[in-house]
Structure 1
Amino acid sequence: MRAFIRTDKVRYLVSLLVILSVLLAFGAAWASSEGGHGDSAGKVKDLIWRTMNFVVLAGGLIFLLRKPLAQALESRRQGIRDELDDLEKQKADAEKQLAEYKAKLARLDKEIDKIVAEYVKDGEAVKAKIIEEAKVAAEKLQELAKKNIEHEFQKARQALKAEMAEQAVSMAEALIKKHIKDEDQERIVDEYLTKVVVAQ
């Protein structure tokens, strides 16, 4: 910081000397253009006094404003440094967050793949279970249908037997009525009674 202030002092002094040189050259040129009149000495004195007033005023301003200007410039420089440091920190934080988000995204992709694989696996298991249950249900239905058919067949068979027996009895009765006469009937009754009496 001191080197900065010294550099500024040198700049101010050089600027001041340049201004004085320009003013003196201007004053000398002005005095020579008058052609040696007595009035030119008064003008040169006036110019010198004005130049000295300017130098004293400029020197006083430099002396008084040197520290506040240096502090303001240093404060501004420090503010810029702080802003740059803050921006670097924000950049580092942003890069860190970006890396975290990329990592989360990669993990999320893996999680999604894992979840999809689990759902596919669960779906296959449910599918296999449904197919197995359908097979069992179909077998039960077949067994039930078979039993129902067999039961209905037995019922129909018994009904057919009963109907055939009834028809056979009817036919036999009709044949007997047709072929047996009253004498045959009496003879059969007598034979039956004889057998019953003998059996007792």
Structure 2
Amino acid sequence: MTKAIKIIPLFYGLSGILSAALAFAESEGHGGGEETMTFLGDWLPRIVNFAVLAAVLVYFARKPIRDFFVSRTAAIARSMEDSREARERALSALADMERKVKDVSAETNTLIDEARTRGEKDKQGLIEESKKIVQDIQAQVKSTIDLEVQKARDSLAVEAALLSIDLAEGRIKERMNNEDRERILKEYIARVGGKR
């Protein structure tokens, strides 16, 4: 509000001076073609007019112009300070980002190394486990084979015994006559009868 009150007289003063200058310029235009250049008649009013105009401008515009330049200087200084702070923040953020990139890079390398180590350990573990499984399977197969061989041997022994019995029975039947049969039958009956 106070700035508006200070500017209003400035506009009134400027409009008055401009009106006087226009009126003076118009009166010069209709002079009838005579050109007389005298210091007091021609230059003095112009110099006085300029001096009055300059004095009025200096008187009324001094403070607003000074305030304008002071505020403009302060705004420029503030802008420069803000720019400097923004630059410092940007540089700090850049340094932080570079540090984070290095940290991430180091962490990535660490994770890769750990994964390789873990992979090698897992690989060795799988190899050892597969060797153990192969050994277990081989032992189981050997045990199964041994068992099957034993069964086959037992089966062959039984079959051989049966064949031996059949062969012996066949030979006994060939060699035995009716007299031998009756004698064996009597001996058997005597033995069975004697057990009672």
Matched residues, number: 163
Other-structure match for 2:141: 145
The alignment yields a C-alpha RMSD, in angstroms, of: 2.6
Q: Deviations over 1:37-60 (max 9, x none)?
A: xx766x942542233122112221
Distance, in Å, in 1 between the alignment partners of 2:43 and 2:123 is 111
Displacement after TM superposition at 1:196 (Å): 7.2
The residue correspondences of 1:157-196 to structure 2 (distance < 5 A) are 157-190=153-186
User: Residue 104 of structure 1 aligns to which amino acid in structure 2?
Assistant: K
User: Residue 145 of structure 1 aligns to which amino acid in structure 2?
Assistant: V
Other-structure match for 2:63: 67
Task: Give structure 2 stretches of 5+ with no counterpart.
Answer: 1-33
User: Residue 133 of structure 2 aligns to which amino acid in structure 1?
Assistant: A
Distance, in Å, in 1 between the alignment partners of 2:185 and 2:37 is 196
% identical equivalent positions: 32
CA gap of 1:93–1:40, structure 2 versus 1, over 3 A, is: closer
CA gap of 1:40–1:171, structure 2 versus 1, over 3 A, is: closer
Displacement after TM superposition at 1:83 (Å): 0.9
Distance, in Å, in 2 between the alignment partners of 1:197 and 1:88 is 134
Displacement after TM superposition at 1:74 (Å): 1.9
Distance, in Å, in 1 between the alignment partners of 2:187 and 2:135 is 62
CA gap of 1:51–1:195, structure 2 versus 1, over 3 A, is: closer
- SS at 2:107's partner residue? helix
Distance, in Å, in 2 between the alignment partners of 1:152 and 1:55 is 136
1:85 to 75, 81, 88: 81
Displacement after TM superposition at 1:99 (Å): 0.7
Distance, in Å, in 2 between the alignment partners of 1:40 and 1:119 is 102
TM-score by length of 1: 0.71
TM-score by length of 2: 0.72
User: Residue 156 of structure 1 aligns to which amino acid in structure 2?
Assistant: A
Q: Does 1:128 align with 2:124?
A: yes
User: Residue 52 of structure 1 aligns to which amino acid in structure 2?
Assistant: V
1:115 to 94, 111, 114: 111
Displacement after TM superposition at 1:198 (Å): 8.6
Task: Give structure 1 stretches of 5+ with no counterpart.
Answer: 1-32
Distance, in Å, in 1 between the alignment partners of 2:126 and 2:37 is 123
Other-structure match for 2:13: none
Displacement after TM superposition at 1:190 (Å): 4.5
Distance, in Å, in 1 between the alignment partners of 2:185 and 2:113 is 93
Distance, in Å, in 2 between the alignment partners of 1:151 and 1:48 is 143
